[in-house]
Structure 1
Amino acid sequence: MTHLGADVVQALPKVLLHDHLDGGLRPATVLELAADVGHELPAATPDALADWFATSADSGSLERYLETFAHTVAVMQTAEALERVAREAVLDLAADGVVHAELRWAPEQHLARGLTMTQAVEAVQAGIDDGIARAAADGRTLRAGQILCALRHTDHWAEVAGLAIALRGDGVLGFDLAGPEQGFPPSRHDGVWRHLATHQIPVTIHAGEAAGVGSVADAVAVGQALRLGHGVRIIEDITFGTDDGAPAPGTDRISGSDGAGGSATLGPVANWVRDQQIPLEVCPVSNTQTGAATSIADHPITRLKELDFAVTLNTDNRLMSRTSLSHEMMLLNTEAGWTLEDLLDVTVTAAWSAFAHHDERRALVEQVIVPGFQKIERASL
């Protein structure tokens, strides 16, 4: 296995489907915005604040991880702040080689200073558009848009869905259900999913992160999810064993990184997700922080990819996880043995899974992703 250089990975064209706007602020921006609104922070310098976010998030608990958002959300309550955060997010992603980005956030959390949800979404879009223009002026081209999140534990699902419908075509790409999985299934407001489907709004749902296979089943059956946010606990519906003869129906032979053979028997939910090629928005570093995975080396993403699940690679929350898409790629290369071909595979899968029209996805794959990887591969030989 060849270790890829940081400059090689940095230069690769990337597609990011799962990145939370309120989880990707620059530490210096958090400090400046907090000073403007009089919000008290746990640290007083950018470096110290970055350390606090990463340490607090690295607790092994999703609940503790989510507590860090109290500070970022608190400073994102005005149109000016939302526009700035969105602009900087786009610029940071462009600098990391991202050519398609879908930024998700929950508008209902940003109304404390008088904004309506519509005004909040418009402010974020203004920031995204400005960031795209500034990146283009620096020679970096990317597409970016918003995914609007409703929170599982509140009752604004229909309102957020209506906003996604009304602003589709004005930068809004789709709808997401986020927040605590346990106890708040998609069936709480099952009419929302029919309404979204009627208006052809793409849906992704956080599932298979804090809760297990049942959460994934609900997301695809009730929520009609076209993608799964995280989805890694689908691995719990797969039984791994030794390769001791002809595989039974529903069983695949797999090869480990050590070359040893084995088998994997998929349960009904895992079979459905794989058969339908429902993309998994996997976020390796975040998953190790919240306890959905023990390490990068043992992360389910590698086995799921070997089993031909539609795996995509994502950042989740760049501030809390102190990560970037380049960083995620580097870790998979150095700790899980991923090759340049593996990275191309998940990037192409992400491009084909984007909430964009078919012709746009095809152009992204054929004109940007594949040529970009080929160029980097030739240069590195």
Structure 2
Amino acid sequence: MKAFLILEDGTVFEGTSIGSTKDMISEIVFNTSMTGYLEVLTDPSYAGQAVVMTYPLIGNYGITPDMESKKAWPDGYIVRELSRMPSNFRCEGTIQDFLKEQDIPGIAGIDTRALTKILREKGTMNGMITTNENYNLDEVLPKLHAYKVGDVVSKVTCSEKYVLEGNGPKVALMDFGAKNNIARSLNDRGCEVTVYPANTPAEEIISANPDGIMLSNGPGDPADCTSIIKEIRKLYDSDIPIFAICLGHQLMALANGGKTYKLKYGHRGGNHPVKDLQTGRVYISSQNHGYAVDADSIPESVAVPAFVNVNDNTNEGMSYVGKNIFTVQFHPEACPGPQDSGYLFDRFMDMMGGTK
């Protein structure tokens, strides 16, 4: 079945329908990872977006037990070619069947390199995937211009708190769209992890007397999370050690009077170099974000930059002065090949007093 990808600038790509055949309007973003497509599909940070995979052949090893959440979150999926015969000893099915089961519409057979160049040059834009060959641009384009991602944190957070048992420090993990491996990385170090819904009052967290607080990744514009930002400010004032990743990093900056801004086309992939400003060492990191913290908007008396993106010099982390708080924009729980940045979890353990 034919499918069409229509961008808000009027560009149209024709390809083949994969997954669900329903019409989809979303923000179109690209990911440069060569592997890890299942982790991408099940990352809650992609809620409200349709993902273009720049690597030309997707699905080689099928669907494996590497999901970062219980379901897939992107609105749509865009690829050059899907593997017809996946091969892996852990393979449990094909990506084609997975997209259908998850009701995610997609398109294959288009020039994803050309599409990515458009998004890099013109910036992230909205688009539609449709199987309707009689689409009318005059009707579609106004809908694309009007689309807003909106509040997606409330859609991806857990509905009630739950606990991963452990014998070490007690960690309160705020779920703004947390990937499974964040809780797992803490649990593997012996932590007892209590995962809380995004709208949990700070007083409830503090009254539980955790040894540390983890602020997770998540989707959407951080500035839209106004009520969450107020609660994070209370957590900041509590003097409990805090480690924040991605959206959590942005929300902590906003809670301290900082500003965030939208990147032209974002950072999404497993090959982004970041420099630790304390040691001068560069790490290859996994990233997925469309917004960045304006480090200059935060007084040096409050926080200082801890990491910087080597490609474009955007902020990749902050260290808060006089507080046991540090935040990073990238994903130390992910393993894009190197696992070097996992040491940040060890630093968090040290802040909490180490293994008990």
Structure with more of its chain in strand, by fraction: 2
TM over 0.5: no
TM-score, normalised on structure 1? Answer: 0.30
TM-score, normalised on structure 2? Answer: 0.32
Structure with more of its chain in helix, by fraction: 1
Greater relative contact order structure (CA < 8 Å, 6+ sep): 1
